[in-house]
Chain A
Amino acid sequence: MTNSPTRTKSTPTSTRLPRPARRSLLSRLPVVHQLRQSVGLQRGMLVAGLIITGVFIICAVFAQFIAPYGFAQLRGPDGQFGAQLPPSPEHLWGTTVGGYDVFSRVIWGAQTALEVMIVAIVLSIFLGVFLGLVSGYFGGWLDRILVVLADAIYAFPSLLLAIVMSIVISGGQSNLYGGILAAAISITVVYIPQYFRVIRAETVRIKGEAFVESAKVIGASNARIMVRHVLRNSTRTLPLIFTLNASEAVLTLAGLGFLGFGIEPTAAAEWGYDLNKSLSDVTSGIWWTAVFPGLAIVLSVLGVTLVGESLNDLADPRLRGRRAVAAAAGDVAATSVVPGGTLEAGLGGLSGLEGCGDFDDSGTRTHTDTSHTDTSQPERRQP
C-alpha cells in the first residue's frame, strides 16, 4: 500500500500508544482554524472582516484612552467647544450641532454598540438554544406552540417590535444601563426566534441520526442525549447566525437611536442618535456630523458580516475554496491494506488489519459523493 509520506504512520504493534497527530490548540480555535484553511478571495474577505471587526473591538474596549474627550463632554479647558465646528486639530472630525466632539462620540459609540451586541446575543443565544433544543427534541404540543409563537414574532417588523419593547421596558428614554438593556432586550426578542428555529431544525435532523438512536438503545437518559449528543452537534451554524445577528443588532440599535428611542446623549454615545441630530446639518453643507457616525455603522456591520459570511463558506466543504493541484499530483489514497481482506486472512493478529494508515478511503470517497449530492442539501440561511 502507498501511504502518504507526509503523515506519520501509526504502528499498532508497538506498546506505547501511538496517537494520531493532533493539531495544536491555537490552530483548532474557531476563527484561527478557518483563517488557515482559507485561500484566495475567501481569505481576503475573512482577513478584511477580521481587521475591521478588530479595529471596532479595540475602539470599543479602549474608548477612554483613544477618545480625546468624553462622550457627553461639551467644554474643554478653553471653555465651550462650540457647535458645528469643521474638522480641526482640536476636534479631528469637528463638532455636532449639540456641541459634542464627533470623533469622541464615534469612538464611544463603538463601546455602546459592542455592549448592546453582547448582551443581546448572550440573552438570545441562551434562551433561543434552550427552547430550540427542548422543542425539537420532545416535539408534540410544546413544539407546535413554540413554533407558532416564533412565527408570530417573525410576522412583526423587527424594528417596530424593538420600539414597542423599548417603550415597555424603559418608557422610551433612559440612562446608560437602562438604555443598553432596553435596546438589548428588544433586540433579543427579535432574535430568539432565529436561534430557536435554527437549533430546532438541527435538533430534528440530528434526532433521526443513528448515533442518537444508538444512545437511546444504550439506555441513556433524555437529558444526557440532549446535551452530549444533540446539542454539541447542532451548534455548528451558531457562529454564522451569531455574526450576522451581531451586525443586525448594531443596525437595530442605530435604528432605535435614529427614531429617538435610543439612549440619552448624556448617558452614552450612540451612532443612531448622532445621525438623527445631524439630519438638518446635511442640507446646510455640514457633512462631518453625518458621515462619520454613518461610516462607523456601515463599517462595523460590514466587518462582522464579512467574518460571518466567510465562516459560513469555509464551514461548508462544497463552498470552501482550495488551492488548485497540479495534474496527476498527490498519492493514491489507500483503500485497504489487505486487498480484499479475505476470510482466510490472519484474523488473530493485528498485522492482518485493514486500514492502519491515517488515510482512509473517505478522503477520496467524499469527493465523488458530494459531486452527486450537490443539490440535495440546500444551504441553510436565515432570512
Chain B
Amino acid sequence: MSGQQKTIVSIENLEVSFSTDAGAIKAVDRVSLEVAAGEVLAIVGESGSGKTVTAKSILGLLPETATARGAIILSSRDGGGAPGAGSSHNNDVLSLSKKQLRGIRGSDVSMVFQEPSTALNPVYTVGWQIAEGLRAHGKYTRAEAKAKAIDILGRVGIPDPETRVNYYPHQFSGGQKQRVVIAQALVLDPGLIVADEPTTALDVTVQAEILDLLRRCRDEFGTAIVLITHNMGVVADLADRVAVMYQGEVVEQADAVTLFSDPQNDYTKKLLASVPHIGQGALQTVERASARATDWQNATPVVVASGLRIEYPGRFGRGGFVAVDGVDFEIRAGEVLGLVGESGSGKTTIGRAIGGLTRVTGGSLKVLDHEMNGIRERVFKKVRSDIGFVFQDPASSFNPLLTIADCVAEPLVVHGRAGNPREARARVDELLEAVQLPKSYGDRYPHELSGGQRQRASLARAIALEPALLIADEPTSALDVSVQARVLELFAELQREFGFAALFISHDLAVVDLLADRIAVLYKGKLVEEGTGSEVLGSPKHPYTQRLLASLPVPDPVEQASRREALRALRADEARAAGTS
C-alpha cells in the first residue's frame, strides 16, 4: 500500500509460553512483525501455529496461564497515549498495567471475532453495544452515543441504520452481525484492527461482502488490519503483506503478490500446493467415468429422492420450517455425488435423512430399496450396516471415554460381526491401516489424536462394515487446509478401493469438485443445479451458482482482483434485474 506511512505496531522477538497439564508449551517463538498504517497484514498458518496467540497479544488478551517476553510497540493514533503512560506516543503492550491496557483497547487497537453470533450480547440492542465502547473511553451523552452508533452502522453498510440501531442481534443475519461487530471495532477509530478469522463462520457469498467491507475499512478509515486466517483465498483477496507462521515461528514474510507467485520457504510452497482449486477434479472424473461398465447407468440407484420434502415442526401456532423442498436426485452405485450449498440450504438435512436421523415429511426417498418416508426404526436398523457416516466435527464424533479401537469396533460389535471390541481388534487394525494410521493408535484416546487423524479414524469406522453408501457431512471443514488435502486424498483412495457410493456434503466448491462425479447445488432447500463438475463449475446456469462460484476467492491476488470485479458486475446485474422485475 504505502512506504511513507508510520508503523502502527511492531512486534519484536515475541515469545509466548503456556503452562499446561503436560508442562510448559511454547506457542510463539521469536516472532517479529511490523504493520504500517493503512496496511493489511495477513498471518496465515495451520491451527496451533501460534497465529492467534500472536495477534491476541497485541491487545494484551493472553490468558493467565501464558507468559510473554519481547516487545509489542503500539502507537497511539491521536498521539495521546494511554492514560498514565506519560507523554509517550508508543506503548509496549506487554509492560502495560491492566488499567492502561483498557485505555488502549478500543481506541488504539480493537478486535473482530470469528463468530459474530457469540461476539454480540443477545440481551442488548446493537446500538447499546456499540455505544458501550464509547462510554468506556469518554463522556458521551445518550443522544451523542446513539448518533455515533447510527453513523457507524450506516458506514459499515447496514441499511436503514436509524431503525436498526435499536434492533437486537438475533434480528440480523450472520453477515450483518459481522458488520455490526466491525462497526463496534471501528467506532473509536482505532489505528489497528485485529481480525481473527473474520469470515470463517460465514458463507462464501457473505464472506465476499465482509472482505469488501474490510477493504473499505482500510481505504476509507485508514485503519491497519491484522488478518488471521487459514484461508489462502481470503489472504489473496485482502492482504497487502503476508506472514506465514509454522510451529510458532514466522517462516516467511512477503507482500501478497510475491508470496503467491514466488514462495521461498518450503512450508509456504507446500501450504499453497495443498489449497484445492476449481478444475482439479475434472481429469479424475473423466477417468473414473470411462472405467465404469456400460450398463452402469441402468443399475438400480442406491439413493433415489423424488419430490423430497423435509419440514421441521414449528412452535405452537406457527408453521413448520421447510428445510428441503421438493428435491430430486439419485446416487448410483459407486458414484460420488457432491452436495453444495450455504448454511441453511438443507444439505445436512438431506444427509441426515438418508442416514435415518431426520424424519422425511413428504415426497419419496429410497435408500437401498427402503422407502424412508414413514419407515420404522426396527426395519431400518438392518439397513444401517450398509450405510457409513462421517461427521463434520472430528472433536465430538468420538466418545471421549473409549479408545479409538473400541470406537472403530463399535459397528462390528453392534451388527454381531464380533462379540466384543477385543475380538474385533484384528479387523480394526486392518481398518486403521487402510486409513493410514499406525495400529498402535487404536490404544489411544480420541483427544490424543490431532483433528486430521481423528477424521481418518472416523473414516475407518464408517467403512468398517464395507457399506454400499457413505455419507460424508462436511468431513474436512473443521480441518486445516494442509490436513484437509490428505483426508480428501484418502477419501478418494478408499472410494476407489471399496467402491462405495457416496454423498459428499460441503460448502466448499473446490473441495467438492476434487472428489465428486456429479455436483448438486442446493439453495434455500431447492436443488437449483445438477451435473458433472465441468458442467456445473464450467458453465453454471443458475444465477446462484454463478454468484457462488464468483464469490469463491482464489489463492492468487492478481486473478482474485479480476474476479472481484466480475463478482461486482454480477451483483450489479442481479440488483438491476431485481429492480426491473
Q: Is residue B414 contacting chain A, with contact meaning CB distance below 8 A? A: yes
Contact B266 A339 (CB under 8 A): yes
Q: A210-B391, A371-B56 are in contact. Are A323 and B19 (CB under 8 A)?
A: yes
| Whole-angstrom CA separation of A350 from B387 in the bound complex | 28
Contact B61 A371 (CB under 8 A): yes
Which residues in A have their C-beta under 8 angstroms from that of B555? none
Q: Is residue A139 contacting chain B, with contact meaning CB distance below 8 A? A: no
| Whole-angstrom CA separation of A320 from B65 in the bound complex | 10
Contact A364 B18 (CB under 8 A): yes
Contact A363 B20 (CB under 8 A): yes
> How far, in Å, is A334 (CB) from chain B's closest CB?
7
Q: Is residue B483 contacting chain A, with contact meaning CB distance below 8 A? A: yes
Q: A328-B15, A331-B26 are in contact. Are A217 and B400 (CB under 8 A)?
A: no
Total A-B pairs in contact (CB under 8 Å)?
A: 247
- Closest A-chain residue to B514, C-beta based? A343
Contact A330 B397 (CB under 8 A): no
Q: Which of A12, A228, A364 contacts B438 (CB 8 A)?
A: A12
Which residues in A have their C-beta under 8 angstroms from that of B20? 322, 363, 367
| Whole-angstrom CA separation of A214 from B399 in the bound complex | 10
Q: Which of B48, B267, B458 contacts A361 (CB 8 A)?
A: B48
| Whole-angstrom CA separation of A209 from B396 in the bound complex | 6
Which residues in A have their C-beta under 8 angstroms from that of B273? 340, 342-344
Q: Is residue A315 contacting chain B, with contact meaning CB distance below 8 A? A: no
Which residues in A have their C-beta under 8 angstroms from that of B447? 362
Contact A342 B399 (CB under 8 A): no
Query: Which of the 9-residue segments B33-41, B449-457, B500-508, B524-532 touches chain A?
Result: B449-457
Contact B401 A367 (CB under 8 A): no
Mark contacts of A340-355 with chain B using CB atoms, 8 A cut-off: 1 yes-contact digit, 0 otherwise: 1111110100100111
Q: Is residue A18 contacting chain B, with contact meaning CB distance below 8 A? A: yes
Contact B25 A354 (CB under 8 A): no
- Closest A-chain residue to B383, C-beta based? A219
Contact B485 A356 (CB under 8 A): no
| Whole-angstrom CA separation of A281 from B399 in the bound complex | 60
Contact A330 B357 (CB under 8 A): no
Q: A210-B392, A326-B17 are in contact. Are A354 and B448 (CB under 8 A)?
A: no
| Whole-angstrom CA separation of A232 from B402 in the bound complex | 10
> How far, in Å, is B155 (CB) from chain A's closest CB?
26
| Whole-angstrom CA separation of A262 from B286 in the bound complex | 84
Which residues in A have their C-beta under 8 angstroms from that of B387? 217
Q: Which of A12, A218, A326, A327 contacts B384 (CB 8 A)?
A: A218
Q: A17-B439, A339-B482, A371-B61 are in contact. Are A37 and B18 (CB under 8 A)?
A: no
| Whole-angstrom CA separation of A2 from B248 in the bound complex | 11
Q: Which of A215, A347, A358 contacts B436 (CB 8 A)?
A: A347
| Whole-angstrom CA separation of A45 from B517 in the bound complex | 62
| Whole-angstrom CA separation of A256 from B15 in the bound complex | 60
| Whole-angstrom CA separation of A210 from B390 in the bound complex | 10
Which residues in B have their C-beta under 8 angstroms from that of A229? 399
Contact B482 A233 (CB under 8 A): no
Q: Is residue B260 contacting chain A, with contact meaning CB distance below 8 A? A: no
Which residues in B have their C-beta under 8 angstroms from that of A218? 384, 389, 410-411, 414-415, 461
Q: Which of B391, B440, B482 contacts A341 (CB 8 A)?
A: B482
Interface hits, B78-130 → A, CB 8 Å: 113-114, 118
Q: Is residue A332 contacting chain B, with contact meaning CB distance below 8 A? A: yes
- Closest A-chain residue to B450, C-beta based? A360
Which residues in A have their C-beta under 8 angstroms from that of B396? 209-211
Which residues in A have their C-beta under 8 angstroms from that of B452? 336, 341, 354-355
Which of A2, A220, A354 has the largest count of B CB atoms less than 10 A from its CB?
A354
Contact A329 B24 (CB under 8 A): yes
Mark contacts of B249-277 with chain A using CB atoms, 8 A cut-off: 1 yes-contact digit, 0 otherwise: 10000000000000000110111011000
Dominant SS among interface residues on chain A: loop
Which residues in B have their C-beta under 8 angstroms from that of A213? 357, 389, 391
Which residues in A have their C-beta under 8 angstroms from that of B570? none
Q: Is residue B138 contacting chain A, with contact meaning CB distance below 8 A? A: no
Mark contacts of B38-51 with chain A using CB atoms, 8 A cut-off: 1 yes-contact digit, 0 otherwise: 00000000111110
Which residues in B have their C-beta under 8 angstroms from that of A331? 24-26
- Closest B-chain residue to A376, C-beta based? B118
> How far, in Å, is B153 (CB) from chain A's closest CB?
24
Contact B19 A335 (CB under 8 A): no
Q: A213-B357, A329-B17 are in contact. Are A365 and B47 (CB under 8 A)?
A: yes
Contact B48 A333 (CB under 8 A): yes
| Whole-angstrom CA separation of A18 from B401 in the bound complex | 20
Q: Is residue A380 contacting chain B, with contact meaning CB distance below 8 A? A: no
Q: A209-B396, A350-B436, A360-B448 are in contact. Are A326 and B67 (CB under 8 A)?
A: yes
Contact B482 A340 (CB under 8 A): yes
Q: Is residue A280 contacting chain B, with contact meaning CB distance below 8 A? A: no
- Closest A-chain residue to B438, C-beta based? A12
Mark contacts of A6-40 with chain B using CB atoms, 8 A cut-off: 1 yes-contact digit, 0 otherwise: 10001010000111100000000000000001000
Which residues in B have their C-beta under 8 angstroms from that of A355? 449-450, 452-453
Contact A2 B274 (CB under 8 A): no
Dominant SS among interface residues on chain B: mixed
Contact B63 A217 (CB under 8 A): no
Q: Which of B393, B415, B482, B493 contacts A219 (CB 8 A)?
A: B415
Q: A218-B410, A219-B384, A361-B48 are in contact. Are A342 and B27 (CB under 8 A)?
A: no
Contact B22 A363 (CB under 8 A): yes
Interface hits, B381-421 → A, CB 8 Å: 381-382, 384-385, 387, 389, 391-393, 396-402, 407, 410-411, 414-415
Contact B410 A215 (CB under 8 A): yes
Contact B357 A341 (CB under 8 A): no
| Whole-angstrom CA separation of A40 from B135 in the bound complex | 38
> How far, in Å, is A153 (CB) from chain B's closest CB?
28
> How far, in Å, is A313 (CB) from chain B's closest CB?
14
Q: Which of B27, B247, B389 contacts A367 (CB 8 A)?
A: B27
Q: A325-B17, A330-B17, A365-B47 are in contact. Are A19 and B443 (CB under 8 A)?
A: yes
| Whole-angstrom CA separation of A372 from B438 in the bound complex | 34
Q: Is residue B444 contacting chain A, with contact meaning CB distance below 8 A? A: yes
> How far, in Å, is A227 (CB) from chain B's closest CB?
12
Interface hits, B530-567 → A, CB 8 Å: none
> How far, in Å, is B393 (CB) from chain A's closest CB?
6
> How far, in Å, is A329 (CB) from chain B's closest CB?
4
Q: A214-B391, A341-B485 are in contact. Are A335 and B461 (CB under 8 A)?
A: no
Q: Is residue A144 contacting chain B, with contact meaning CB distance below 8 A? A: no
Contact A20 B444 (CB under 8 A): yes
Which residues in B have their C-beta under 8 angstroms from that of A336? 46, 450, 452, 480, 482-483
Contact B46 A335 (CB under 8 A): yes
Q: Is residue B52 contacting chain A, with contact meaning CB distance below 8 A? A: yes
Q: Is residue B66 contacting chain A, with contact meaning CB distance below 8 A? A: yes
- Closest A-chain residue to B246, C-beta based? A339
| Whole-angstrom CA separation of A340 from B269 in the bound complex | 8
Which residues in A have their C-beta under 8 angstroms from that of B26? 328-333
Mark contacts of B432-470 with chain A using CB atoms, 8 A cut-off: 1 yes-contact digit, 0 otherwise: 000011111001100111111100001001000000000
Mark contacts of B1-29 with chain A using CB atoms, 8 A cut-off: 1 yes-contact digit, 0 otherwise: 00000000000000111111111111101
- Closest B-chain residue to A330, C-beta based? B24
Known contacts A340-B274, A355-B449, A364-B48; 9 additional CB pairs below 8 A are A2-B247, A20-B443, A210-B391, A233-B399, A328-B17, A332-B26, A342-B274, A361-B47, A367-B53
Q: List 7 A-B contacts (CB under 8 A).
A: A6-B23, A20-B443, A217-B356, A232-B401, A327-B15, A331-B24, A371-B61
